[in-house]
Structure 1
Amino acid sequence: MSESTSTADAAAVPKASWAELFRGENAAYTVMVMLGVVMYSLQILVMVTVMPTVVSEIGGGAYYVWAVMLYQVGAIVGAASVGPVWARAGGRGAFVTAGLVFALGTLGCAVSPGMLELILSRGVQGYGGGLIIGGTMGLVSRVFRANQRTRILAMYQGAWTVMAWVGPFFGGAFAEVGWWRGAFWTALPFILCFCAMAWWKIPKRLTQAAGAGFPLLRIGMLTLGVLAVADAGRFDAVWGRALLVGAAIALIGLTFRVDAGAAQRLFPSKPLSIRRAVGLGYWMLIIVGGAQAAITILLPLTLQIVHGVTPLLVGTTNLINSTAWTIGTFIVAGWVGSRERLAMRGGPVFLLLAVAGFLAAMWIGSLVLLLVSCFCFGFGIGVHHVHLGAHIMGSAEQGEETVTASSMPMVRSLGQAIGTAAAGMVANIAGLGTIIDAATVSQAVTSVFVVTLVPIAISVFLIARLTNLVVPRTV
């Protein structure tokens, strides 16, 4: 679908009602999307909570972060594999396959006798989770009408927020009784229900044009690139991190380049072109995802070291951010025309104001301003992201609908991985290292905030260009 067609459709059709998501076949598809989000996100949040208990039972403390990291790496690669898997198995077979892979990884985590088995199982689980979460985006683009997508994407974000509140308590309950494996065993029935529902409800007609073979080379390059970014954090020296991040960007860039001439694509046509709506949308996902990761990874440290907040409450910023994101999403999900343009353009402006607020909070030492800015940041993401996702899907070329939608989570995750690594480098250059005191943390975090202003400012101009392409000026 071209940008002009998307714009015309947006002008002609009002947003659907919430009730439409639960009528007829849409009800099952909505449940599938929500269940996929719940399964995927819960296994991210639970692991963070149970890891101290895991290490105390099976050891492997030196590989503490790998259980989380390999899940994320697997998820990025899994989301990139959605197009080829759909091409061979169809939508129904792809969802069942994704669920079974996710179940296999979850079972492996539940029975792991040691840390090596656990982190390998997490990689398998992450790959299945990436196939699921990328597949749900493909499902949204294929079975929901254009005027329904902002509604279902709002529901999608709402499910994430619920899990952000519930997940730590769910994992904490199993850690409290000393049975961390229960967090995985109890997930298996829901995963099998997901597989059964996929087989029962996903139509056979959902498929993708088949190519000449599974893209192992591109998947391999992408995997190495993502691993390089993820592993950059273990280097204390700035040059070591810079080298790995540079190698990662080169590998990921080469993956995009090779993919452009392939018969079976991982990405849509010209995915990073700033002259096309999809390319502009992908750049927004990368920039905002990277900025969010850079900021949120350091906010808990700021709360605990600079403001003396207890460890029990250091996750407050993530909850505030996620809740504000959901509030913003639900407020604007039904907006069209000029109001939709306002929401999309206003989002990055909120982000810019939020980062300025973070800087002011660091300079004057205000915890209240820090938390208000955190809310503003999440709200800014929410008000533009729901329309951004819908327009990326709606601007896909004919025949590329599934691969365009399914690669969106992967593209955003790449941005987050790069943002996290970049934040670590900037913080280290600013003095964060073996000495962790209020003055050092304040200086390091302030430096990260200053650097983050640059990509956020760029996003203001990118979203303006995007809205000119896809949002009508009159209703």
Structure 2
Amino acid sequence: MTISSAAQAAPLSPFKKLTMDGRWLASLIMILGVGSASMNNFLSSAIMPDIIRDLGGQQRAFWVLSLFQIGSILAGTVTGSLKARIGARPLFIAAALSFLAGSFVGGAANSLEHLLLGRMLQGLGEGMIVSLCYTLISDLYPENAVSSVFALLSGVWAVSAGIGPLTAGILTESWSWRAVFYANLPLSLMLLVLAITVIPSTTRDKSTSTQSSDKMSMFPRLGLLAVAVLLIAYVGELRSLPHITGALVVGLLLLLLAVKWDKQSATPFIPRSAFKFTGILGLGMWVTLLLSIASAARVVYGAAMGQVLWGLSVTQASYAMAITAFTWTAAAWIVARVQTPHAQTSLIRLGTLNIIAGTLLTVVSLYTMSLWIFLLSSVFNGAGFGMSSQFLKKAIIYAETDDERDRASGFIGPLQAAGMAIGAALAGLLAGLSGFSVPGAQDLITLENASQSGPILFLIMAGIAGIAALLAFKMPRMV
């Protein structure tokens, strides 16, 4: 019996779909590509105090994280469009080399300026690698395996959340913070080898005649996007509510202008149907963006809540937050076998409702000062994302034709990152206005005002998640 006939005779397990017909190498690329991004996300935050003690420049510590984020969003945004023109293989090689160079420069840095250069190169490489992984899913896997791929990637994030803080501590204590950067070197070389041997070099966009003036517009478009993201990210460094409000409003306006300008271009970076309030792609991107915004408050304040409100240690608070990632993975693997479009659409809608419930439970945990309710809210949030995220991304990827598919799938990563940046800035503004977090205070949140002002912040985030749910119910059913 052939593999194909066996597949028709009995449903394949998610693991089998990821490894049969030689696809284990493709799955390895996904694990290493997304895994490197997730691990660096946790490791970089953990080693920041050691970097500042060694290199100095505490007033510029913001840039160590933000330059990586800005580079990642910019590189991820252009990935889909570039892949359609020149193919995935040369892009992946360039991204792996950028990540390799950034890791070496960062590890060898003897000044904060050199470290910032390394972080920017890392961000450009990582952003492109993650977006390429998303664009390659439809090239390397059959459609019935896509849910299993995203379940695998959620597992990668969960493992990173579990071992990230511990790994950072071991590497830093046994050598120094530089070991975190140098550990990426063999990983970069593995990605480089896999890019050369596994990734296809085919392109989708066969057109060669594009006005040079439109090609030149890509640089000011990217510049405008970079300024917008920078302003939004810089909100986290501001200590005055008027300054926070001004930076957030101007950043959002510039972001809207950048998106509008891009969609009018003959060579756009994002799909033309993005952010419309009709169709699977437009509504799917709105749902993805709004859920990222709504979840940012937990990411920013969750660990601090565990430490300040319930006296958890740094490690305990980190693992309390990691419950969301663990539950996300468990739910994703449970529903990965679901193949009918009707059921997948229902899971997207049910997932958004779970996220609303989890956010409302966070409100209750602050009213009652209950750690157990807070942990339960993490379970609901993780389960909500686990049952909906993979099918939402699948819907975005397959909503467009081949000409637009690379742009749609490549934009998923930057869209989520932008949503987190907007959500973090909005959460900072709301926390300052409500008194949940006092700008310039030593602690991120205030114990005295937590039960009175904290619920207001998360009620607003629940409302944003509610808008996402309404749009999810408006989405046409997948076919």
Is 2:454 aligned against 1:445? yes
1:221-253 residue CA offsets vs partner (Å, 9 max, x unmatched): 111111110001222222211211111111111
CA contact (8 A) 1:298 1:445 kept: no
Q: Write the distance in 2 (CA, Å) between the matches of 1:193 and 1:262.
A: 37
Deviations 1:60-109 (A, max 9, x none): 12222321221111111110020343245311101101100111111110
- Distance in 1 (CA, whole Å) between partners of 2:14 and 2:383 is 22
Task: Calculate the TM-score normalised by the size of structure 1.
Answer: 0.92
- Residues 383-402 of structure 1: CA distance to partner in whole angstroms, max 9, x if unpaired? 11111011111111341111
Tell me what 1:357 maps to.
361
Query: 2:125 maps to which residue?
Result: 128
1:170 and 2:167 matched: yes
2:147 to 147, 150, 160: 150
2:42 pairs with 1:41: no
Alignment of 1:460 onto 2:460: no
**1:260 paired to 2:269:** no
| Residue 417 of structure 2, aligned match among 413, 417, 437 | 413
Distance 1:110 1:224, change over 3 A: same
1:275 to 278, 281, 300: 278
Change (3 A) 1:355 1:186: closer
Among candidates 213, 218, 222, match of residue 221 of structure 2? 218
Cα distance in 2, alignment partners of residues 58 and 139 from structure 1: 39
> 2:6 maps to what in 1?
none
Give, in angstroms, the shift of residue 421 of structure 1.
0.3
Other-structure match for 1:291? 294
* Deviation by residue 1:270-327 (Cα, 9 ceiling, x = unmatched): 2000112111111111111111112221111211111121223121232111111111
- Pick closer, same or farther for the CA change 1:264–1:25 going to 2, 3 Å: farther
Residue 344 of structure 2: SS of its match in structure 1? helix
Between the aligned partners of 1:208 and 1:167, the Cα distance in structure 2 is 39
Of residues 415-424 and 58-67 in structure 1, the stretch that sits farther from structure 2 once superposed is 58-67
Q: In structure 2, what is the Cα distance between the partners aligned to 1:47 and 1:65?
A: 12
Q: Point out 4+ residue stretches in structure 1 off by more than 6 angstroms.
A: 13-16
User: 1:246 — aligned with what?
Assistant: 249
* Alpha-carbon offset, residue 465 of structure 1: 1.4
- Change over 3 Å in CA distance of 1:25–1:207 after alignment to 2: farther
Alpha-carbon displacement from aligned partner over 1:3-24 (angstroms, at most 9, x marks no partner): xxxxxxxxxx988743122123
Decide whether aligned partners of structure 1 residues 15 and 416 sit closer, same or farther in structure 2, where only a CA change above 3 A counts.
Answer: farther
Identity value in percent: 23
Does residue 1:229 correspond to 2:232, yes or no? yes
**Aligned mates of 1:42, 1:188 — CA distance in 2:** 14
- 1:339-398 Cα deviation digits (max 9, x unpaired): 323311111111111122111111111110111111111111111111101111111134
CA distance in 1, matches of 2:177, 2:387: 37
| Corresponding letter in the other structure for 1:411 | L
- Residue 471 of structure 1 is aligned with which of 465, 468, 478? 478
Q: Please say which of residues 80-89 and 134-143 is displaced more in the overlay.
A: 80-89
If the length of structure 2 is used for normalisation, what is the TM-score? 0.91
Counterpart amino acid of residue 98 in structure 2:
V
Question: Does 144-153 or 202-211 show the bigger shift?
Answer: 202-211
RMSD over equivalenced CA pairs, Å = 1.9
Residue equivalent to 1:179: 176
CA separation of 1:17 and 1:55: change in aligned 2, threshold 3 A:
closer
Aligned partner of 1:30 in structure 2 is 27
- Give the aligned partner of residue 389 of structure 1: 393
Determine which structure has greater relative contact order: mean sequence separation of CA pairs < 8 Å that are 6+ residues apart, divided by chain length. Answer: 1
Query: More deviation in 200-209 or 105-114?
Result: 200-209
Q: How far apart, in 2, do the equivalents of 1:237 and 1:400 lie?
A: 42
* Offset at residue 443 of structure 1 (A): 3.4
Aligned residue in 2 for 1:307: 310
* 2:407 equivalent to 1:403: yes
Contact 1:328 1:379 (8 Å CA) reproduced:
yes
C-alpha displacement at 1:335, in angstroms?
A: 1.2
Query: What are the superposed Cα offsets for residues 436-462 of structure 1, whole Å, 9 maximum, x if unpaired?
Result: 541223434222111112111111211
Q: Distance in 1 between matches of 2:61 and 2:183?
A: 23
Q: Conserved in 2, the CA contact under 8 Å of 1:83 and 1:208?
A: no
How many angstroms apart in 2 are the aligned matches of 1:143 and 1:27?
Answer: 10
Residues 204 and 403 in structure 2, CA contact (< 8 A), matched pair in contact too: no
- d(CA) in 1 for partners of 2:25, 2:171: 31
Partner of 2:4: none
AA paired with 2:422? I
User: Which one of the candidate residues 362, 368, 375 is aligned to 2:372?
Assistant: 368
Return the alpha-carbon distance in structure 2 between the equivalents of residues 17 and 103 of structure 1.
Answer: 32
SS in 2 for 1:315: helix
Q: Corresponding residue for 1:5?
A: none
Rate the CA distance shift 1:24–1:255 in 2: closer, same or farther, 3 A: same
3-state SS of 1:113 partner: coil
Please give the residue correspondences for 1:6-17 in structure 2 after superposition, counting only pairs within 5 Å: 17=14
1:428 and 2:432 matched: yes
For the 8 Å contact 2:352–2:469, the answer to whether it is kept is yes
CA contact (8 A) 1:47 1:68 kept: yes
Residue of structure 1 in register with 2:339 after alignment: 336
Call closer, same or farther: CA 1:345–1:34 in 2, change over 3 Å. same
Do the aligned residues in 2 keep the contact of 1:91 with 1:207 (CA within 8 Å)? no
Between Structure 1 and Structure 2, how many residues are aligned? Answer: 458
**Does structure 1 conserve the Cα–Cα contact (< 8 Å) formed by 2:293 and 2:419?**
yes
> Aligned partners of 2:74 and 2:149: how far apart in 1?
24
Q: Which moved more, 1:184-193 or 1:401-410?
A: 184-193
Asked whether the 8 Å contact 1:225–1:251 carries over to 2, the reply is: yes
